Amino acid sequence: MTNPIPRKKISLRRTLHNKLVHIARHPLLYLMLIPGLFFLCIYKFWPLYGLQMAFRKYSIYAGSNPMDSIAKSPWVGTKYFVKLFRSAQFSLVLKNTLIINGMKIIILFPVPIITAIMLNEIRSAMYKKVLQTTIYIPYFFSWVMIFGIFYSLLGSYGMLNTLIVKLGGTRIRFFTSTETFRGLLVFTEGWRETGYNAVIYLAAIVGIDTTLYEAAKVDGANKWQQIWHVTIPGILPTVVLMLILKVGHILDTGFEQVLIFYNPAVYDVGDVIQTYVYRLGLGKMDFSQATALGLFNSVVAFVLIVGANTLSHKTLHRSIW
């Protein structure tokens, strides 16, 4: 038996040596890593360095280029955060973000689950394929295209308003009314995402052991009981994982949709954190203030995502990374 301390030292040195040997033997593997790391550093990590703008009075012309200007701008501490947390606009956009994404989770979350369960019940393979394909296709449309489609359908002289007038109602301004705007966001989100999410649940349903259904049938379970006692418990881990992820991303989803759909008439109900960051930063050129709000958003989102992942790892032994 040797003394454990030198042994540890030797093994440490040996690991390092082994690592270097591996690099020397497989130089191509390490060369391959370069392009990815290069883009990662420039487009993902360099912006992180830029976050200090939130603590400086940033002037874009202070240095020789916009990133150089960061170090040349004076520190102001937490001035922009104090200003931010005191502003009425901050609580408004935070509230809107939570309400809109909360509504989406509460109303839309069960829809693809039910859709997948129903798709699994369809007997005709061909009709099942037709249904699945049709429900799935809107996922590949961009938000601008969906905006165009619904603008055409729900606009003042769109088909729906023609029908409403025919039935004796008055025209509804879906895009500019504060009463309908959030509903419009939730509906179009469901329109786009239901098929995509249903495919995920359908894959989980297909993975359920078919002997469980046979056993349930032998025990005299009818279709409802089979769905309730076999299908739903079978997909429950996937359901919980998806729910955790959705809640984890409650602050940072739906930005592009809002940016495209909203207009000044509905800012009170539709303006979310990211759209406000965008208008503040690239519209009003209030770069430091916008970065401060962006940083707040990133930190909270980070905590939520890591928390959600840890939770799913602990409870379900599954994680996204």
Partner 1 sequence: MSRKKNKNSIPLDFSEKLVLGLSNTILTIFALVAILPCLNLFSKSVSIGPAVTAGFVYFWPNGFQLETIEYVLAKTSFLTSLKNTLIITVAGTAISMFTTITTAYPLSKPDLSFRKLFTLLYVISMVFFGGIVPAYMVVHTLGILDTYWACILPFAIVQFNMFIVKNYFEGLPSEVMESSAIDGANDLRTLISIVLPMSVPVLATVALLYAVNYWNNYFHAMMYTNSTAMRTMQLYLYDIISNSQAFAENLFTTSYGGTMSVNVTTDGMVASAVGLSIIPIVLAYPFIQRYMVKGITVGSVKG
Footprint (CB under 8 A) of partner 1, residues 162-221: 162, 191, 194-196, 199-200, 203
Give the residue among 247, 88, 263 at the shortest CA–CA distance from 184.
Answer: 263
The single residue among 12, 23, 215, 236 that binds partner 1, judged by CB under 8 A, is 23
Distance, CA of 35 to CA of 12 (rounded, Å): 30
Which is nearer to partner 1, 4 or 123 (by Cβ)?
123
Q: Please identify, among the stretches 5-13, 72-80, 89-97, 115-123, the one whose residues bind partner 1 according to the rule CB under 8 A.
A: 115-123
The single residue among 33, 71, 106, 236 that binds partner 1, judged by CB under 8 A, is 33
Half-sphere exposure of 267 (CA within 13 A, CB side): 7
Give the residue among 206, 198, 199 at the shortest CA–CA distance from 231.
Answer: 206
251 sits near partner 1 (criterion: CB under 8 A): no
Query: Helices in the chain by DSSP H: which ranges?
Result: 4-25, 27-40, 46-50, 66-72, 79-86, 88-103, 110-121, 125-136, 143-154, 159-166, 181-206, 210-218, 223-226, 232-248, 255-261, 267-270, 273-278, 287-316
Q: Please identify, among the stretches 72-80, 85-93, 95-103, 277-285, the one whose residues bind partner 1 according to the rule CB under 8 A.
A: 277-285
Q: Other C-beta atoms within 10 Å of 18: how many?
A: 10
DSSP 207: T
Helix (H, G, I), strand (E, B) or coil at 223: helix
Give the residue among 239, 240, 259, 244 at the shortest CA–CA distance from 97.
Answer: 259
CB of 51 to partner 1, least distance (A): 6
Residue 268, phi then psi, degrees to nearest 5: -60, -35
Q: Please identify, among the stretches 86-94, 101-109, 121-129, 178-186, the one whose residues bind partner 1 according to the rule CB under 8 A.
A: 121-129
CB of 271 to partner 1, least distance (A): 15
Which is nearer to partner 1, 269 or 290 (by Cβ)?
290
Residues 104, 109, 110, 115, CA torsion sign:
positive
Which is nearer to partner 1, 86 or 123 (by Cβ)?
123
Which is nearer to partner 1, 104 or 192 (by Cβ)?
192
Give the residue among 138, 134, 171, 129 at the shortest CA–CA distance from 154.
Answer: 171
Q: Please identify, among the stretches 2-10, 45-53, 77-85, 96-104, the one whose residues bind partner 1 according to the rule CB under 8 A.
A: 45-53
CB of 75 to partner 1, least distance (A): 17
89 sits near partner 1 (criterion: CB under 8 A): no
Residues in CB range of 265: below 8 A, 6 or more apart? 176, 177, 178
Please report, as residue ranges, which positions from 256 to 275 form the binding site for partner 1 (by CB under 8 A). 256, 259-260, 274
The single residue among 11, 89, 134, 178 that binds partner 1, judged by CB under 8 A, is 134
11 sits near partner 1 (criterion: CB under 8 A): no
Angle of CA points 240, 245, 249, to nearest 5°: 150
Question: What's the full length of the chain, in residues?
Answer: 321
The single residue among 9, 13, 14, 26 that binds partner 1, judged by CB under 8 A, is 26
Q: Please identify, among the stretches 80-88, 89-97, 98-106, 282-290, the one whose residues bind partner 1 according to the rule CB under 8 A.
A: 282-290
Which is nearer to partner 1, 90 or 255 (by Cβ)?
255
CB of 3 to partner 1, least distance (A): 28
The single residue among 93, 113, 269, 290 that binds partner 1, judged by CB under 8 A, is 290
